[in-house]
Structure 1
Amino acid sequence: MIQTTDLRGQTPSRRELLALIPRATVDVSVATEAAAALIEAVRAGGSSALFEQAERFDRVRPAALRVPAADIAAAADALEPLVRAALVESIARVTASSAAQVPAPQTTHPAPGATVVQRWQPVARAGVYVPGGKAVYPSSVVMNVVPAQVAGVSSIALASPAQAAFGGSVHPTILGAAGLLGIDEVYAIGGAGAIGALAYGVADLGLEPVQVISGPGNNFVAAAKRLVRGSVGIDAEAGATEILVIADAEADATLVAVDLISQAEHDEQAAALLVTDSAALGSAVAAEIARLAPLTASAERVAVSLAGPQSAIVLVDDLAAAAAFSNAYGPEHLEIQTRDDDAVLALIENAGAIFVGPHTPVSLGDYLAGSNHVLPTGGQARFSSGLGAYTFLRPQQIVRYAAEPLADVAERLVALSRAELLPAHGEAVAARFERP
C-alpha cells in the first residue's frame, strides 16, 4: 500500500535530498490558465458569472449569492450541541494563541528629540475562503477568522461553495461557525471565481474588494491566489495536506499508522511520510496501515493517497539524518515520536507546525490544540509560516525628528546623497536650515 525508500548508508546533500523527496505529481501551474479565465469572467460579468460557475461546478444555482444574515443566525442556533461546544472551545483557544502573535509597539530614540515608532497596523478588510468538496470545514472558519479578528480587521467577508444538498446555500455547519464568530457577510461562491470576486470586488453584488485573502482550497484556488497576488495579499498557496512523522524503535506503530491515515483521508493527493532509523518500526507501521486503512470510512481516498508517489516510509541511519530529511522536505505537519523528542526538536529548522510526543497528534492541531491549522504545504515551510494574526498586520515605522537632531545628521546626510548622485535629497534637508 505504501512505498519504502531506503536511504541508509547514504549521505545526500540538501540538493540531493530535494531531488529524492516524494511529492505529488500535480502542479498548481497546470490550473493557472483555467483559473485566469474564471477570474476574468467574474471581473467582466459580476454576479452572472458567479451564478454560471456555481451551476457549472457545484451543480446548483443559489437563490442568492449572499447568504441572508437570518440564515447565518439560524444555522448557529441549530448547531449540534457537542459541535457547538467544540467550536466555542476552539475559538477560545485560537484566540489566546493568536493574541500572542500581535507584537507590542516599540519606540527607539536614535538621538534626543528623534523617535522611530514601530507599530503593527491591521488591514481594514479581509476575505476568507472555506472550501467545500469532500469534507466540511467549520474548523477552517475558526482558524481563518479568529486571527483576523484578533489582529483588528474590522471587515471580513467569507466565501464558500454553494451546496446542492442545501438549496445552493453554504453548508449550514460553515454558516453556524461564521455565526458564532459574528460574521454576517457570507457568499455562496467557490473556486477560482470566488478568489477573483474577493480580490477585485463585485459591484452588482455589493461585494467590496479585500486587502488580504486567506484559506485553503484545491489547485484552482491555489492558482487563483497566485494570480491575484500583488493586487491583494495572500496567506499562501495552500495545497494538499502533508504529515511527516519522525519516529524511532520506541514509537508505537499503531499510533504512527493512525496518524498517517488521519491526514491521508483529506485528499487523494495528501502526503503521508514516516522517516525512521528503525526498519522494524517501518515494517510494523506498514503492517498496521494495511490492517487499519480499509476500516476507516474514507478507506478509498486513504488507499489512493498512501499508494501515491507522495507517500512513503523512509529508512535512514539515525535521527540526525531523519531531521535533515525533514528539513529538506519542509512538512506542513511534523510529528516527533522518539526516545528523546527534545533532542530531535533541536535539529528541526523547517516545519509548518510541530507536534511533539505520542499524545500530540496532528488531529489535535486541526481542531482544539489552540494552534492554527492553516499551514504552508509543498515545501513552502522552508521559507514561510502558517496563518496567524501577523498575516493581517503590516509593520509601519513612524518617524518624528525635531530640528536639532536633524541638524546633527545634516552634513553626513548631504555627503551620502552626493555620493549616490542624488543631491536633491541632501538639498531637501539643507533647505530647512538655510531659510531666514
Structure 2
Amino acid sequence: MLASTVIVTTLWCFCLLHPTSGQDCPSRQEIQGSLKQVQKLLSAHEASYLQSLRNLKKKINLLQSNVGKQTTRAINSTCPKLDVPINGRKLGKSHSVGHEVHFLCDPGYELVGSESRVCQESLTWSGQQTTCRDINECASSPCLNGGTCVDEVNQFSCICAKGWSGATCQSPVPTFFVTITNTSAATSPATAAASTLPAATTGPFVRPSRCTIVQGTTHCTCEPGYTISGRDSNTCTDIDECELFHNGQAGRLCLHACVNTPGGYRCSCPVGYNVTRDGRSCKDIDECATRQNNCTKDQMCINTYGGFQCVRVDCPKIPNATYVKTSPMRCERNPCPVDNKACSQTPNSFSYHYLAVVSNLSAPRVMFRVSALRPMGDTLRFSLLGGRQARRHFTVQRSDRVTGQLMLVSPVQGPATLEAEVEMSELERRVQLGRYITKVTMFVSQYEF
C-alpha cells in the first residue's frame, strides 16, 4: 500500500520535470483520483491497525487479571481456622487443601458432629461442626430416698438425705440406744426427770453416753457414729463404718479405700486421683492440663486415669519411601517416582491415636472408627494388623460402606498398654490404589473407677 503511494508520487513528479518526454503522463484529475484511493487505503489500514492494538491491550489486561487472581488464590488457599471444642482436643494444625483435622473429647463427654474434617478445594471444611457434650449420668435418677445426684466424669455420686447411706442411698443408717430400768427408790420421779447420769471419756474413739432418767427408767443415747459399749451404758464406743458396711446390703462406702475416724469415716484415693465432692468417689487428675508432668517440648502429654504418658510421634522409616509429618499425629508419604513401583505399594499415610480407659472395661465395645471421606476406588477394605496380643483383645468390623471400627472383644486388667493397627485399603477392580494405617495405643489404668 505504501509502495503504491510512492510510485504515483514519483510518476507525477517525473512528468512535471520532463514534460516533453515520450511517455504519456496522466492528467491532474487521474493523479488526484489515485491519491484519494491511496488515502482511503491508508485510512483503512490505520483503522485495522488501531483495532488490532486495542484487542492486544484487552488480552494483556485479561492475562494480568488472571495472574492476579491466581496469586490471590495461592496466598489464600487455606480453609478457615477451626476452633478447639470445649472439653475436647483438636489434632492437626495444617489448614491447606487436602489436609484433615481430628477431634477428641475429654473423658465424660461425647462427640457431636464430625470426628474428622477435610479442607476441600472450595476452601470449606467437610462434615459438621464438632462439639463435646457432657454425658449426664444422673438422667436416670439413680439416687433413692431423697438423695441428690451429682454428675461426675464417667460416673455419678449420691448425696444422701439424713438417715440414709450407700452408693444410691438405698440403706438406712442404724440408730443405737439402750433402755435400762432403774430399781433405786431413792430418786423421786420429779427429780429423776431432770437428772443426767455422768460418764467418762478415755479417748477419741470413746465418748460418754447421754442418759436421762424418766419415771424410774434410764434412757442412754450416743452421738452419731458411736454405740453403747456392751453392758456399760455410760460409755459409747466408735462404730467402724468401714467394717460394718464393707460387705453389707448398703454397698461399699468408698470406691477405693475407707479410713475409719472417730465418729465417722473418710474415703481416700490412690495417687493420681482426688476425692470428689460427695466424699466417696475418686476423680482423675489431669496432669497434662494442670502441667503436673515432665514431658519435654518434643513430646506430647497424654492424660491417663491415675497418671500421664509422654509420647513422641516420629514418622516411620520404610525402604523405598519417605514420610513427612503433616500434623502432630499424622505422617504422609512424599510423592513416588513414576517408575518406582515399590514406593507406590507402601502406605500413603500413618495416623496415631491414644486412648485412656479404665481397667476391666466391659466388652464388646467400639473403641475407634476409621472412615474414608472421599473414596477414590470402588471398594474399601478394613483389616487388623499386629501380632497375637492385638488379635486377642481386638477385632475390626465394618459399620457402613466407608467406615470400619476397632472393637474391644475382651476386658483388659490394668495396668497395661495395648497397641492395634487398622489398615484401610482402597481398591479399583481389585487393584490397590492406596493404603492408610491408623495406629491406636490404649493405656489401661490399674483401677476400675
Bigger relative contact order, structure 1 or 2 (CA pairs below 8 A, ≥6 apart) = 1
Larger Rg, first or second structure (1 or 2): 2
Q: Whose helix proportion is higher, 1 or 2?
A: 1
Please, what TM-score do these two structures have when normalized by structure 1? Answer: 0.20
